[in-house]
Amino acid sequence: MPNSLRTIDLNLLKVFEAVLRRRRVSGAANELGVTPSAVSHALGRLRRIFDDELFVFGASGMEPTSRAIELGTEIRASLDRILNIVERRPFDPAQSQTVFSVAACEYAAAVIVPPMVRAVTAAAPGVGLHIHPPNRCDIVQRLDEGRLSLAFGQFGHLPARMRRSTLVREKEAILVRSEHPLANGDLTPERLLSFSHVLAMFSPSSDEGPLQGLTWIERLQESVSYCARRRIVVRTAQFSTVLSLLASSDMVVTLPRRLALRASRERNLAMLDLPSDPLEVDIQMIWHERSSRDESCQWLMRHAADTVALKS
């Protein structure tokens, strides 16, 4: 076992968190009911454990180093979880300082996260939210390790210990600039194929068949002869890039409908319905089974589901 794990204890972490908030040794000592020398001694042990100064004297008291700031979020959230377990304290949103880490695909970051954040911060002003881009290779591992509270996206097979819930069933739509030739007249496959296309890689996709994971334009290309196909000029996972390309060209993009609708309202862009049945995919929320017994995580999940339901 590493030396740091042999020497660290919960009281040291409580000292760290108190100094981080109070910015003064005396203030932390008063809060914890110990002497200032005991706090200074604990800080010395913490500095050796983390091999960092952690706090330095500044104009406003004990200023945290960048390493202390990085550690602070994780330690505060961990202490909160430990105290909830040990003391079986009910979760009080109005008083909680819990920091939730959430992985969100770009669709979820644009459509689900903003109203969820507004609802969460209104109900719990002390709660923090860290939103991360998903890395499908390690989402399960991060949920296992407790480094993620939730993840939003479209998922295939998951281990039995993971739980999921469908937040919304999403359809595809076409997005073009408002003055685009396709904005007037019948929208036929032939007319669509006469323009260059942008492939938005962040669009939700399914892995349940050879064509099910493709956007509408890709499936259309699969169904026509090679000579009728129009080239996909750009592939990108950046929403801002898609909007810039559409605004300055006659390119066409297939997007999830709610994302296309939001963009059409905020930009000089037009959303068009597809000329045939669009692909439908489930946008899901996943979590570790232990979170089903965590009152704070259940509270966050309810807010996520409720905000989506209000927008649907």
**CB < 8 Å & 24+ apart, contacts of 234-242:** 234/198, 234/199, 235/198, 235/199, 235/201, 236/198, 236/199, 236/200, 236/201, 237/106, 237/200, 237/201, 237/202, 238/106, 238/202, 239/106, 239/110, 239/200, 239/202, 242/175, 242/198, 242/200
Beta strands at 99-104 and 61-64: parallel, antiparallel or unpaired: unpaired
Q: Let me know: does 93 contact 123? Beta carbons within 8 Å.
A: yes
- Beta-strand runs (E) in 135-205: 150-153, 162-177, 197-200
Residue 261 token pair: 């609708």
Residue 267 token pair: 């930009």
Q: How far apart are CA 189 and CA 194, in angstroms?
A: 9
For 132, the 3-state DSSP assignment is strand
At 2, give phi and psi (nearest 5°): -60, 150
pLDDT value at residue 204: 44
Q: How far apart are CA 235 and CA 189, in angstroms?
A: 20
Residue 271 Cα to chain centre, angstroms: 26
Q: Let me know: does 163 contact 286? Beta carbons within 8 Å.
A: yes
Q: How far apart are CA 304 and CA 115, in angstroms?
A: 8
Q: Let me know: does 16 contact 23? Beta carbons within 8 Å.
A: no
Residue type, position 235, single letter: R
Same topology between domain 3-87 and domain 99-165+282-311: no
Class of domain 168-281: alpha beta
Q: How far apart are CA 193 and CA 217, in angstroms?
A: 8
Class of domain 99-165+282-311: alpha beta
Show me where the domains of the chain are located. 3-87, 99-165+282-311, 168-281
Residue (of 310, 287, 291) closest to 102 by Cα position: 287
Q: CATH 2.30.30.90: does it fit domain 3-87?
A: no
Tokens 């819990």 belong to 98
DSSP secondary structure letters along 190-222:
HHHHTS-EEEETTS----SSTTTTS-HHHHHHH
pLDDT by residue for the chain (312 residues), tens only, comes to 344 445 567 788 889 888 988 888 998 889 888 999 999 999 999 998 889 999 998 877 888 898 888 888 778 777 777 766 666 667 889 988 888 999 998 888 888 999 999 999 999 999 999 998 877 668 888 888 788 899 998 888 889 999 999 998 888 888 999 999 998 888 888 888 888 888 876 544 444 433 344 565 666 666 554 444 456 788 887 788 888 899 889 999 888 888 888 889 888 899 988 877 777 778 899 999 988 888 889 999 999 998 877 665
